[in-house]
């Protein structure tokens, strides 16, 4: 790896070259227009024989970052990299105008270069451009890393994502696949007659999820604002307003810890449909993921961190209480809703119990501690306790539980959905309970949203909704171990430039 002293020397040498370029005129020209990408050229012409290429005189104009440079006397080879891949260019002294080849020899790996010429195939069979015009468009002042792997470089990859993308094709592939995932999801929803909408990121009352918000201040209005933790309540206001199917692919912000699965800002897809219940979203989610995985991979199999999951199968389904039973063989299911027994069991397995925890909250603490990590295969967990589901509709036959599910793969939650609570009086009561939880010290409790209650009082039709974590889904489908690997610019502590 180039040390700091050597790097500074290389930068100084490159700056000197840039100074000479400035003396010769415009050092940053912007009049070149390419007509081909490397990936398109390979796709179209890789099957052509050399004699066919030479007979047809196929002329192309390309540009990109010079990633390889091999000087060989009067003729040299370079490789230019654009967003679609790399293409080789042969640079000959006698094929270029007088003096250009001598200038070219002083260019550096990392420079942005343009080349024009005809396609041919080398003796080794590689598709190549024989350049009769070549120009330096942008001087790279910093040398690319000689090595770019290993734990010591992991933080550097996240901080300098632009370099990571230049060097690592695997990183570029992750973010291209991320775009494909979002595009598929958007197409799937729009084909089902969903309307894409946008809701505010700055809110006067945080809501829609149990999370600690980021606070801000609007100077002109002299008022406190919050970065949204979820778009849910605004999307359901639109349901009240008469849109039957809405969705938003949104950025959310939660003032919580950073881990391999958590980033302070993240991307969610939230969608709501009228005259449906939570089981409808389970079916629709399963259909969407079956198709998405097959479209992306050409197969329904997903390999993730040494495990393989088949997204072509029917997903497993079990309730929270069934999961507790499955992963706690010594648990007395006859006391599954006995708060005293649940509290004692939590202590036994090392879970901290607060005085305001009811039986439902204690059930979830047990499930989180013992069951979640065991859910390897795609699984819907249903019938969450109403106590921990303040926006969900109670089950008609068992009010202790809500008509709610969460979707898990590889031991982590990917999606959360439920039949929406549209009873304004019940919702107001649950908001009041959340306020009491906040007073008791719960930093993630919801606020009382008076306007949302007013909206419900106008009447919201029976509705079901879902939220899907885009980042975690991308992690799964790109075999990425950390959420930072699927965020172009993950949150990092400030870097010192002293």
* pLDDT tens column, 219-265: 999 999 999 999 999 999 999 999 999 999 999 999 988 888 889 99
Which band of pLDDT confidence, cut at 50, 70 and 90, is reported for residue 145? Answer: confident
Q: What's the pLDDT score for residue 2? A: 58
pLDDT at position 496 over 80: no
| Domain boundaries of the chain, sorted by first residue | 4-144, 166-315+377-486
4-144 belongs to which homologous superfamily? Answer: Nucleic acid-binding proteins (2.40.50.140)
Percent of the chain with pLDDT over 70: 98
Angle of CA points 445, 486, 408, to nearest 5°: 55
Which band of pLDDT confidence, cut at 50, 70 and 90, is reported for residue 304? Answer: very high
Q: What's the pLDDT score for residue 150? A: 40
For residues 206-228, give the mean pLDDT: 91
Pairs from 90-98 (Cβ < 8 Å, separation ≥ 24): 90/120, 90/122, 90/128, 90/129, 90/130, 90/131, 91/115, 91/131, 91/134, 92/130, 92/131, 95/130, 95/131, 95/132, 96/131, 96/132, 96/133, 96/134
Kind plus residue range of the DSSP H or E element containing 176:
helix 169-191
pLDDT tens per residue, range 59-79:
999 999 999 999 998 999 999
SS3 465: strand
Q: Are 92 and 73 in contact (CB under 8 A)?
A: no
Query: What one-character DSSP code corresponds to residue 496?
Result: P
For residues 384-400, give the mean pLDDT: 96
Task: Tell me which residue has tokens 């969407």.
Answer: 288
Q: What's the pLDDT score for residue 259? A: 86
- State how beta strands 127-138 and 112-121 pair: antiparallel
pLDDT at position 299 over 80: yes
Kindly indicate whether the domain formed by 166-315+377-486 is annotated with CATH number 3.30.930.10.
yes
Q: What's the pLDDT score for residue 498? A: 63
User: How many Cα atoms are found within 13 Å in the side-chain-facing hemisphere of 171?
Assistant: 21
pLDDT at position 118 over 90: yes
How high is the mean pLDDT of the chain?
94
Which band of pLDDT confidence, cut at 50, 70 and 90, is reported for residue 439? Answer: confident
For residues 274-298, give the mean pLDDT: 97
How many Å apart are CA 357 and CA 397, to the nearest integer? 23
Q: What's the pLDDT score for residue 208? A: 83
pLDDT tens per residue, range 441-482:
887 788 899 999 999 999 999 999 999 999 999 999 999 999
pLDDT at position 381 over 50: yes
> Residue 230: what are its φ and ψ, rounded to 5°?
-170, 150
Alpha helices in 313-412 (DSSP H): 320-327, 339-348, 359-370
Q: What's the pLDDT score for residue 151? A: 34
Q: What's the pLDDT score for residue 339? A: 97
Q: Are 274 and 240 in contact (CB under 8 A)?
A: no
Domains 4-144 and 166-315+377-486 share a fold: no
* 2-11, 360-369, 427-436, 462-471: the lowest-pLDDT one: 2-11
Q: Are 411 and 376 in contact (CB under 8 A)?
A: yes
Angle of CA points 277, 279, 285, to nearest 5°: 110
Largest CA distance in the chain: 91
Q: Are 246 and 195 in contact (CB under 8 A)?
A: yes
Compute, in degrees rounded to 10, the torsion defined by CA atoms 24, 30, 31, 33.
Answer: 130
Residue 53: Cβ within 10 Å count: 17
């Amino acid at each position: 790896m180039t040390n700091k002293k050597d790097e500074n020397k290389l930068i100084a040498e490159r700056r000197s070259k840039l100074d000479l370029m400035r003396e010769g005129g415009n050092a940053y020209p912007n009049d070149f227009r390419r007509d081909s990408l490397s990936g398109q050229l390979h796709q179209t012409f890789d099957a052509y024989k050399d004699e066919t290429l030479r007979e047809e005189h196929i002329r192309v104009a390309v540009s990109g970052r010079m990633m390889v440079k091999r000087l060989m006397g009067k003729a040299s080879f370079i490789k230019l990299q654009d967003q679609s891949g790399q293409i080789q260019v042969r640079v000959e002294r006698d094929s270029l105008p007088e003096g250009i080849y001598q200038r070219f020899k002083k260019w550096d790996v990392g420079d942005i270069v343009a080349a024009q010429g005809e396609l041919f195939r080398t003796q080794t069979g590689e598709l190549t451009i024989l350049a009769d015009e070549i120009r330096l468009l942008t001087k790279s002042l910093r040398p690319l890393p000689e090595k770019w792997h290993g734990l010591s470089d992991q933080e550097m990859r996240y901080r300098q994502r632009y370099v990571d993308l230049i060097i690592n094709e695997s990183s570029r592939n992750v973010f291209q696949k991320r775009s494909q995932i979002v595009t598929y999801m958007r197409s799937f929803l729009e084909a089902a007659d969903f309307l894409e909408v946008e809701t505010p990121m700055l809110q006067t009352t945080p809501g829609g999820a149990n999370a600690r918000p980021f606070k801000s201040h609007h100077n002109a209005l002299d008022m406190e604002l919050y970065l949204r933790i979820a778009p849910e309540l605004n999307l359901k206001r639109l349901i009240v307003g008469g849109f039957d199917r809405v969705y938003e692919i949104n950025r959310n912000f939660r003032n919580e810890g950073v881990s391999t699965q958590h980033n302070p800002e993240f991307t969610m897809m939230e969608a709501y449909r009228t005259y449906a219940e939570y089981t409808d979203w389970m079916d629709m989610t399963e259909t969407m993921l079956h198709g998405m995985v097959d479209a992306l991979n050409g197969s329904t199999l997903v390999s993730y961190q040494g495990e393989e999951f088949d997204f072509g199968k029917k997903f497993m389904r079990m309730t929270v209480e069934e999961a507790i039973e499955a992963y706690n063989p010594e648990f007395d299911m006859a006391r599954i809703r006995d708060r005293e027994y649940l509290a004692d069991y939590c202590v036994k397995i090392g879970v901290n119990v607060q005085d305001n925890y009811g039986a439902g909250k204690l059930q979830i603490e047990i499930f989180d501690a013992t069951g979640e990590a065991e859910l390897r295969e795609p699984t819907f967990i249903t019938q969450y306790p109403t106590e921990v589901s303040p926006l969900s509709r109670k089950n008609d036959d068992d009010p202790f539980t809500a008509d709610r599910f969460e979707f898990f793969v590889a031991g982590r939650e990917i999606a959360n959905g439920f039949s929406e609570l549209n009873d304004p009086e019940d919702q107001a009561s649950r908001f009041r309970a959340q306020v009491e939880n906040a007073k008791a010290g719960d930093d993630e409790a919801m606020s009382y949203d008076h306007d949302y209650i007013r909206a419900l009082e106008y009447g919201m039709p029976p509705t079901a909704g879902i939220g899907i974590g885009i980042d975690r889904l991308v992690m799964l489908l790109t075999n990425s171990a950390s959420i930072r690997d699927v965020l172009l610019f993950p949150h990092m502590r400030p870097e010192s430039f002293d």
